[in-house]
Structure 1
Amino acid sequence: MSPHTSASRRAASAAVVATALTTPLLVTPSAQAAPCRGVPKHVICNNTSHVVGSSGGGGSGSGSGGGSGPFIPPPPEGLADNEAAGFVPVDGPAAPAAAPPSAFDLAVSAMAGTFLPSPKVRTAPADKTYIRMRTSLWVEGVEAKSTDPIGAPQVQATATPSKVVWNLGEKTIECTGLGTPKGTSCSYVYQRSSAGQPGGSWKITATVYWDVSYRCLAGGCAPGVLDPQQTTSAPTPLVVSEIQTNTGQ
């Protein structure tokens, strides 16, 4: 190869290199610019955080505009906490005040804190009676009872004993009122002795039913009634024997 040919090739190679260095690089733009996302005071575009309201203007350098700060990731998807997102909640209308309790509700509360006594069983003859003999039944220790007034309308409830249900072992009966020692309003005639019963006696109980009503002492509400209540005595033994008769010849 001649010296002239080698010099020509070297000159051509140098020209190609120079052309490559001076030709601008072609940058293929992305199909779509990344959307801007933001939280209050920051806007993020193309993974670059911009402080909203900062004094820095747009400028070149490192591919970010003037006034940009460090990258701040967006809040998690579905963030519902306004305070965490930088929003200050605006006070809405005040919740309506709760309605005051009704006279019925106040009466229920008053009765819930009131003790109604259990009755005490009484019979005549006492402790022991006989078959085919009228036995008087009554209870003691119970009487009408009123609660303390409660609430702004001054609601007062009153419990009044109305009837007694007697479980006499041999039978169950119902008597109006509390009964008396004379047996005019409540009594029973046994047909069988208690000899075959545990302890040789019938175990009798009395259950008092109470009617409950209420009223407003200061006015302002209509009177009403509550569900009846009941109290039961302790089991009381009653011996019932047969009458022995002797007939002479």
Structure 2
Amino acid sequence: MSPHSPARRRTAIGALAGTALVIPFLAAAPAQAAPCHLSGSTGSCNGTVHQPGSPGEGGGSGGNSGGGSGPVAPPAPVGLNPNQGQGFVQVPGNQAPPPPAKPATADLVAQAQAAAAFPVPIVHTAPKGKTFVRLRTSLWVDGFHVVKTQPITVGAQTVQLTGEPATVTWDLGEATRTCDNAGSEDGKACSYTYQRSSAGQPGGAYQITATIRWNVTWSCEGADCDEAGGDLGQQPMQSEATPLVVGEIQTTTGQ
């Protein structure tokens, strides 16, 4: 066949046309491997629609690293207080302790009794400092009066002690005597008549004392009181020793 025959020319033209079609196809092939840029939850890549997580996106979470739908927020920490860092953290088992139990009324009474201060009696006699055998000697004391202690208040209860003087017991050196009152200077309320002089006593005097005995009660006021009150018996308080000289009256008879 001649190189310039019509049949050869048609064959050459067909070959050139086939080559022209193959070259664009090869040039476009690498572009298909480029990652598809999806918008939202769907997108188009060469006409194929891909859903997140579907095959072809790297499988599972691997698709995100290959140009998926953007960064994903980390999951909330498990077991942590959502208010942590906002000033509202409350640790279980760290609640405020319960209020202390109210004290027993008996404990407050004991506390008041331990702090109670009853007056020390002061001794008086008439004649003062020196008396005589067979002469009525008047006796009396200071401090013979009702005593109330300082109230003790704890919660809804207030405890207070009251002491009422009951008797005065006199130790006169020669004998003892009990009076149910404070005594008086005139001797009508409480007195004593010595039978012997004090000459044989140390220092030549009797050392006399007076002891007041208070009947002590307690009271409690308030909603927390276990009881309203009670009796604590007697509380004694003794005076300091006071010297008293007792002489004998000398008599003379004429010859």
TM-score bucket (shorter structure) = 0.5 to 0.7
* Residue deviations 1:176-218 (CA, integer Å, cap 9, x gap): 1221112222211100000111111111111111111112345
TM, length-normalised to structure 1? 0.57
Indicate the SS of the match to 1:194. coil
Q: 1:248 to 1:234 in 2, by over 3 A?
A: same
Q: How does 1:1-249 map to 2 (within 5 A)?
A: 100-151=102-153, 152-218=156-222, 221-249=227-255
Q: CA deviation at 1:97?
A: 8.4
Confirm or deny: 8 A CA contact 1:128 1:238 kept in the other structure. Answer: yes
CA distance in 2 between partners of 1:174 and 1:100 (Å): 44
Deviation at 1:98, TM superposition (A): 7.3
CA separation of 1:202/1:213 partners in 2, compared to 1, >3 Å: closer, same or farther?
same
- Residue aligning to 1:51: none
Task: Say which SS state the counterpart of residue 154 (structure 1) adopts.
Answer: strand
Task: Determine helix, strand or coil for the equivalent of 2:203.
Answer: helix
**RMSD, matched Cα:** 2.5
Q: Which amino acid aligns with 2:234?
A: P
Partner AA of 1:197 in structure 2: Q
CA contact (8 A) 1:128 1:240 kept: yes
CA distance in 2, matches of 1:193, 1:173: 18
> Would you say how many aligned residue pairs link Structure 1 and Structure 2?
157
Separation in 2, partners of 1:101, 1:181:
48
Using the alignment, how far apart are the partners of 2:103 and 2:195 within structure 1? 54
Structure showing greater radius of gyration is 2
CA distance in 2, matches of 1:100, 1:248: 84
User: Residue 236 of structure 1: CA displacement?
Assistant: 0.6
Tell me the amino acid that sits aligned with residue 199 of structure 2: A
* Secondary structure class of the residue paired with 2:246: strand
Shift of 1:104: 3.5
Amino acid at match of 1:243: I
Amino acid aligned to 1:186: C
Over 6 Å off, 4+ runs = none
Tell me if the contact between 1:118 and 1:142 (Cα under 8 Å) persists in the aligned partners.
no
Q: Hey, what's the Cα distance between the residues in 2 that align with 1:113 and 1:129?
A: 39
Amino acid at match of 2:192: Y
Structure 1 contact 108–226 (Cα < 8 Å) conserved: no
Q: Deviations over 1:100-139 (max 9, x none)?
A: 3343432221121122221111111111101111111111
Deviation at 1:173, TM superposition (A): 1.6
* Structure 2 CA distance for aligned equivalents of residues 105 and 227 of structure 1: 17
> Which residue identity is paired with 1:231?
M
**How far apart are the structure 2 equivalents of 1:217 and 1:133?**
52
SS at match of 2:152: coil
Instruction: Determine the C-alpha separation between the residues in 1 that align with 2:175 and 2:192.
Output: 9
TM-score by length of 2: 0.55
